[in-house]
C-alpha cells in the first residue's frame, strides 16, 4: 500500500513507521477520523493486523465515524507465512486458520455493529455497490480478497547458517537485488561502511 498509493495534494496520509501495523490501523484511523470529522477517512489494513483491535469497531459504530475500512484478506498473517515458507520449508504454524489462527467472518463481524460491508474481487472499485458505499456517510467495510501466498517486495532477507543462526542483510541490500548497473549508480552515495555486497 505505502509503496504504490498515489497520494494527491490535500490528502493526509499516516502510518506507523514500521510499515507493518499489526493492530495500529484501526486505532490510528479512529483518531484521524475524530480529528477530521468533516473528511472521509480510509483505512487499509491486512486481516491479521485488523483482527488485533476488532473490538474498537464499537467506537466506530457508536461515533458514526465516516471511516471506510479496506481489509486485505489473505486468510491470516502474510509476514509469518512468508517467513515460514522461506526459512522453515513451509512448516506453517500460527499463520492461518489451518495452523491455529482464527479470524472472523468479516461480514458477520461488521454486521454485529451495524456497519455495512461488501466483498471486492477482481472487479476492484467497479464492483457493483462499492462506489455507493464509499461515498455514503458513516462507516463501511470493504473486504478485498487477495491470494494467501501473495508476497511483498522489496524486503529484507536473512541467511540461515549451518548452526541454525540467522543473519539479516542490511537495509540497503533488500530483495530483489539491484542489478549491477543500478548498484554502480547508487552505491557510491552510500557511506563506505555500507558499500558491501551480499555474502
Mean pLDDT over residues 78-97, rounded?
78
Confidence of residue 197 (pLDDT cuts 50, 70, 90): low
Percent of the chain past pLDDT 90, that is, above it, reads 35
- 43 and 66 Cβ atoms separated by less than 8 Å: no
Domains in the chain, CATH or no CATH each: 24-145 (3.40.50.970), 158-194 (no CATH)
Beta bridge partners of 142: 70, 118
Predicted local distance difference test score (pLDDT) of residue 161:
85
Element (H, E) at 130: helix 130-135
Predicted local distance difference test score (pLDDT) of residue 199:
43
Sign of CA dihedral 180, 185, 191, 192: positive
Predicted local distance difference test score (pLDDT) of residue 166:
85
Per-residue exposure over 130-152, b if at least 16 CB sit within 10 Å of its own CB, e if not: beebeeeebbbbbbbeeeeeeee
- 16 and 29 Cβ atoms separated by less than 8 Å: no
Q: Which residue has the cell 490501523?
A: 25
Predicted local distance difference test score (pLDDT) of residue 184:
87
pTM equals: 0.79
Q: Is beta strand 166-168 parallel, antiparallel or unpaired with respect to 158-160?
A: antiparallel
Q: What is the grid cell recorded at 165?
A: 543462526
Cα gap 116→96, rounded to integer Å: 25
Amino acid at each position: 500500500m505505502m509503496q504504490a498509493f498515489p497520494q494527491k495534494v490535500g490528502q493526509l496520509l499516516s502510518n506507523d513507521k514500521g510499515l507493518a501495523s499489526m493492530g495500529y490501523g484501526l486505532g490510528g484511523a479512529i483518531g484521524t477520523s475524530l480529528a477530521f470529522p468533516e473528511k472521509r477517512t480510509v483505512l487499509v489494513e491486512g486481516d491479521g493486523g485488523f483482527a488485533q483491535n476488532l473490538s474498537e469497531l464499537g467506537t466506530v459504530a457508536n461515533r458514526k465515524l465516516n471511516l471506510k475500512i479496506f481489509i486485505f484478506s489473505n486468510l491470516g498473517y502474510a509476514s509469518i507465512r512468508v517467513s515460514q515458507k522461506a526459512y522453515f520449508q513451509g512448516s506453517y504454524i500460527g499463520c492461518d486458520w489451518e495452523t491455529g489462527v482464527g479470524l472472523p467472518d468479516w461480514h458477520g463481524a461488521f454486521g454485529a455493529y451495524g456497519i455495512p460491508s461488501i466483498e471486492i474481487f477482481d472487479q476492484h472499485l467497479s464492483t457493483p455497490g462499492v462506489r455507493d458505499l464509499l461515498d455514503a456517510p458513516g462507516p463501511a467495510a470493504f473486504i478485498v480478497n487477495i491470494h494467501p501466498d501473495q508476497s511483498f517486495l522489496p524486503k529484507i532477507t536473512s541467511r540461515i547458517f549451518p548452526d541454525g543462526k540467522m543473519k539479516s542483510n542490511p537495509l540497503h541490500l533488500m530483495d530483489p537485488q539491484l542489478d549491477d548497473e543500478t548498484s554502480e549508480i547508487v552505491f557510491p552515495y552510500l557511506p563506505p561502511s555500507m558499500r558491501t555486497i551480499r555474502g
